[in-house]
Each structure stands twice: as structure tokens, then as C-alpha cells.
Amino acid sequence: MESWGVGETWGVDHQRLARGAIRNLSYFALACLVVLTPPLVAADRRATQNTIPQVELINNALQSQWDAYGLTPAPDEEDQKWCRRVFLDLIGRIPSRGETQEFVADKGDRRRNLVVRLLNDDEYAAEFANHWATIWSNLLIGRSGGNDRNSMVSRAGMNKYLRDSFATNKPYNQMVFELLTASGTTEPGTDDFNGATNFLIDKVNMENGTLATSSTSRIFLGLQVQCTQCHNHPFNEWKQQKFWEFNAFFRQTRALRRFVPGTREIAYGQLIDQDFAGDGGQPQEAEIYYEERNGLTRIAYPVFVDGTEIGRNGYVGEVNRRRELAKLLLTSEYLDRMIVNRMWAHFLGYGFTRPLDDLGPHNTPSHPELLNSLGSELRNSSYDLRMLMMWITLSKPYQLSSRINSKNESDDPSLGEAPQFSHFYIRQMSAEQLYQSLVLVGGEMDGSLEQQQQERDRWLSQFVVAFGTDEGDEATTFNGSIPQALMMFNGELARRATRSSGNGWLGQVLANPTSFSEKVNLLFQAGLSRSPTRDELGIASNLLRARDGKVIEALEDLWWAVLNSNEFILVQ
């Protein structure tokens, strides 16, 4: 696969990636980037999968489907590149050279040992919790959540709650229950602080809680109900009545603004439950009214998606509607299937359905039995998300190379086909993964932890502007726009990562008393988790001659080109 310069446009389709061209780059970048080609090294087969029943369940299901479709899976990915992949997916950064060497030197079941270590060792506990807190903060409140002056959301409060949850391996069903039933304040350090309130704080007051209704259903159940607010869904069984019945669960919940004393500036929000008299002013019934498109007014009471009704009383002391909703949601098989689908998509690039968060009966999954079985296994494991991560990362499809052969080239979800996972689907790093990886290889930050966090937020905000969506959804695709190219070419973080002084990786390599070719090898290992090819070594030698034998300048050019290559920013 050829690598492109970051000034080019690319997508996640591996076949189109391979057909890129390099334009408008300096001689030095061109000389390096044009040959950043991964070696085709076949990996040894691993026998770890058969020791875990859930992993064997995945492998058997995938193999049966490959056989049915006449697909031959790609070979296993070679060890160092697989190590890079699992580091990015589990803790949000590439591995250091030392971590890669430790992995390769493991004479035992190295892939399983690495997954266990990343999931459970204290050495990685903080990075693991931070990585997953970021992913879920983006999901629950959006990438820009908490940045608007009129917002009651505290991003710090949301992150703290999620970090603590992932650090303690809180069961997923408990986390969902807390997010749906939380009351208290949003900002750390305030009285009655409860970080879980940040999920609903900006949603419950908006148009009588319609955003809370649609977000809760979509994120936790995989049921897309937003368009049924105004009319019956044209493709599935959701009707307008169902939307408002679900909405009725949130009518006792209110978000209160707390201001900085003496100003109108919002200091934090407070989420409370309060009695609801209903649109008709009868708290014993507490009905809500909605209007159909034909102008008729209808009545709705709290009824769950499966038809289960709860008491109609609007007094919180009699019926706490949010708490009853959370109890009902935790009994639903949609909860199990949705989190499995979400986690599968995180690790494999695609979920079993498209869109990912639409599990309605109109949208048949690519592997329905496997999705159902993994959902049941997760429930039986007490919703242990680390266990689910282990099952997926040790499964056969996650071991595979991204290389395509004549027997699996039809497996291309980018063309609209259902994914069969017969090879690994290339995708780009998220903005957060890119940031943490650049910091690792040499972009170390100065100042206090608070100052470092502020710098990180400023850097990531550039991606929100350049790549975000109006809804605040997570945007991870790098499309080669001018702002992104400038950030990578000339941004402060990139400059720190490519400077030869200091404690960065390049400085360490230069201080290493080895030959020039060995230094080149160390840079490739650090950035791409592989050795350079013969052609790449030749280009590096040409660079050294072009720089009149100045090793520092030649390696700075080479390192800059490595970090600005497609291969560096791809999870593959």
C-alpha cells in the first residue's frame, strides 16, 4: 500500500487509500513518504482464542459465515503492527519502542498477555480510564459539550464520573442506571456533585425533554425514535404515540441554572426531580398532550418500548419515572445488543448494523445470532466491559491483517456491502489518539497538569472546528483539509514531536551510539511499529547525502515525514 501526504484527501476505504498521490510536498518529505510501505510479513498463528468460550463463539460464527460466502480470511497481522493496533484501541496511543520490544520478547502467549496487561495492570490504569472516558464523553455530551457559555454541562464533571467508572470497572448496567437516574450538581467541587448528571442536564429542558428521549433511546437501546416526535416512522414499528409515551418518563426532571454570584454567568447546573402535574393539571394522572399531523390532540402516559406501563401518578414520592425507566431499560435485550454492537464497531471498524445505533426490526444485523449471543454472554458476565473487550481483541477477526486477497476482495463495507470481517478494516485514528501518540513520541508538555489539560483541549478544539458536526457527534475522519494539514505540518505539537533536542524520541535516537541506518530503523519502529524496507533505507541514505552528511537534519526530515504519513495516522 502506498502512503500519501497529509495534504491529500483520503477515506477509510483501503483500496482507495492505496491509489493516493503525493503533491506539493518538499523534496525531503516526498523522498521519505513515497516509500513508507509496510512490509508483507506473515504472522505466526496464535492459539489463544480456543481457551476462552466467548472467543471461540465469535470465531465459529465468523468462520461459518466466511464459509457460507466463500470468503478466505486474510492472514494474521504481524506481531508488531498488531501490538500497535491494540494499544491504540485499548488505551488510546501507539506503543513506545520499549513496549513493543517487551511484547515481541514475550515467549508465552504474547497477544493474550498483552491484552490482559493493558486491561488490568496498574501501569496502564490511568491511560485506560482516560481513553474510555474521552470516548464516552464524546458520545454522551458531544465533542464540544460543556464549551458553550450557555451550557450547564461540565465536561470536567462528565470526565471525572466516567474516569472513575472505567477505573473501577463499574458494570455497564450500573453505569447506565446512574446516568439515567442521577440528581445533583454537574461541577466537581460543588455541593451535591454528581458527574453523571451531565448526560441529561442540557437535554431535559429542551422542548419538554425531547432530546433526552431520543438520546436515551438511541445511545442505550439502539432505537432511532427522533423522527417520530412529529409523525409515525415510515420504516419501522415506532409510532408517534410511542415517542411521547417514552418522553413521559422524563417529565418529572428539571435542570436548574446556578449562576456566579452577582452575575448572569452560569457556574454549573443542577439536575432535580420534581412533581409533575401533567399538561391537564391532574397530578394523579399526569398525562401529556401531543398533536398529530392531522391536528388531533392525543394523550400519552409513561409506557416503555415493550409496552410495559408504570403508574401514572406525577408525584415523585409516589412514582419516580426516571428510576422506573432505568429499571425497565436494564431488563431489555436491546441494552445488551446495543453495547455489544458499539464495542464491536470500536474494535473492528464497523458494527453489525448500519447505522451503528439503529437496531430496529427494519435493520437486519450482518451477524444476528452472534450479536444476540454476545449480548447474552455480556449479561451473564455481569456487564463486565473489560471482559467484552478481551473477547473481541482476542478473537480471530481482530487478529487479521488488512491485506486483501482474491477470496475476500468482495468484503468491502465502504461500497455498501454488509461487513463480513474477513480482513481488518483500515480506519483513521481519532483526534485524541493522534494527540496522545504525538505526545508519546516527543511532544511532551510543560507546565502544571491543569495547563497541560488546557493545551490538550485547545489542540483538540481545532479538530472540532475542522471536522465536527452540527450535532456535536464524534468526528474522527481526517479529510486533508488545509487546517488539518497545517496542524500536522507546522503546529506546535508537531514541532515539539520532531525537534532533536530534549527528551523526545528523536533526541533519544540521536544520542544512541549506533549507525545511521540503525537510527533510521529505530525511528520507523517508534512511529510505525515496523522496520524500514530496503527502498526506504536507500531513500534515507539519499536524504543524508542531500543534507551534506548532517545526520541531525536528515533524521529530522525523515521523522517529520514519518509522522505526517498516512501510515502513522491509520489504525490498521
Give the pLDDT confidence score for residue 17 in this predicted structure: 33
Domain membership flag for residue 527 = yes
Give the pLDDT confidence score for residue 285 in this predicted structure: 94
Q: Which of 89, 92, 59 is nearest to 391 (CA)?
A: 59
- Is residue 526 within 8 Å of 97, Cβ to Cβ? yes
Give the pLDDT confidence score for residue 4 in this predicted structure: 26
Identify the residue whose cell numbers are 508537531: 494
Domain membership flag for residue 141 = no
- Give the residue, 465 or 151, on which the prediction is more confident: 151
Residues 6 or more apart in contact with residue 408 via CB below 8 angstroms: 71, 72, 73, 74, 420, 422, 423
Is residue 13 very low, low, confident or very high in pLDDT (cuts 50, 70, 90)?
very low
Strands (E), 410-485: 427-428
Mean pLDDT, the chain, integer: 84
- Is residue 189 within 8 Å of 297, Cβ to Cβ? no
Which amino acid belongs to residue 101? Q
**Average pLDDT for 507-526:** 91
325 and 206 part of one domain: yes
Q: Look at the chain and report how many structural domains it folds into.
A: 3
Which amino acid belongs to residue 551? V
Residue 30 scores a pLDDT above 50? no
445 and 493 part of one domain: yes
**Average pLDDT for 196-208:** 93
Q: What pTM, to 2 d.p., does this model score?
A: 0.87
Give the pLDDT confidence score for residue 448 in this predicted structure: 66
Identify the residue whose cell numbers are 502513522: 568
**Average pLDDT for 333-338:** 97
Q: How many residues make up the chain in this entry?
A: 572
Give the pLDDT confidence score for residue 76 in this predicted structure: 97
Q: What is the pLDDT of residues 285-306, one digit of tens each?
A: 999 999 888 889 999 999 999 9
Domain membership flag for residue 345 = yes
**Average pLDDT for 164-178:** 98
Domain membership flag for residue 516 = yes
322 and 341 part of one domain: no
What angle separates helix 385-393 from helix 368-380, to the nearest 10 degrees? 140
Domain membership flag for residue 422 = no
d(CA 235, CA 214): 17
Domain end, chosen from 384, 414, 444, is at 414
Give the pLDDT confidence score for residue 89 in this predicted structure: 98
Percent of the chain past pLDDT 90, that is, above it, reads 66
Residue 134 scores a pLDDT above 80? yes
Domain membership flag for residue 547 = yes
Domain end, chosen from 309, 330, 351, is at 330
Identify the residue whose cell numbers are 471498524: 349
Handedness of CA 79, 80, 85, 87 (dihedral sign): positive
437 and 394 part of one domain: no
Residue 231 scores a pLDDT above 80? no
Give the pLDDT confidence score for residue 431 in this predicted structure: 87
Is residue 257 very low, low, confident or very high in pLDDT (cuts 50, 70, 90)?
very high
- Residue 255's H or E segment, with its range, is strand 253-259
Identify the residue whose cell numbers are 501526504: 5
Residue 88 scores a pLDDT above 90? yes
439 and 474 part of one domain: yes
Residues 436, 441, 447, 450, Cα dihedral to 10°: 10
364 and 275 part of one domain: no
HSE-CB of 373 using CA atoms within 13 angstroms: 15
d(CA 31, CA 289): 68
192 and 326 part of one domain: yes
Domain membership flag for residue 59 = yes
194 and 227 part of one domain: yes
Residue 214 scores a pLDDT above 80? yes
- Residue 252's H or E segment, with its range, is none
Domain housing 400: 49-119+333-414
- Give the residue, 149 or 108, on which the prediction is more confident: 108
Domain membership flag for residue 147 = no
372 and 521 part of one domain: no
Q: Which of 60, 43, 1 is nearest to 397 (CA)?
A: 60
Handedness of CA 229, 248, 144, 92 (dihedral sign): negative
350 and 234 part of one domain: no
- Is residue 219 within 8 Å of 332, Cβ to Cβ? no
Domain end, chosen from 276, 296, 330, is at 330
HSE-CB of 295 using CA atoms within 13 angstroms: 0
Q: Which of 515, 501, 486, 503 is nearest to 556 (CA)?
A: 501
What angle separates helix 431-441 from helix 449-467, to the nearest 10 degrees? 140
Residue 133 scores a pLDDT above 50? yes
292 and 349 part of one domain: no
Q: What is the pLDDT of residues 401-451, one digit of tens each?
A: 999 999 999 999 999 899 999 999 999 998 899 989 998 988 666 666 666
- How many other β-carbons are positioned within 10 Å of the β-carbon of residue 178? 18
Residue 484 scores a pLDDT above 90? no
Is residue 226 very low, low, confident or very high in pLDDT (cuts 50, 70, 90)?
low
Q: What is the pLDDT of residues 352-400, one digit of tens each?
A: 999 999 998 889 999 999 999 999 999 999 999 999 999 999 999 999 9
- Is residue 145 within 8 Å of 136, Cβ to Cβ? no
106 and 191 part of one domain: no
**Average pLDDT for 271-295:** 93
- Is residue 36 within 8 Å of 504, Cβ to Cβ? no
Residue 137 scores a pLDDT above 50? yes
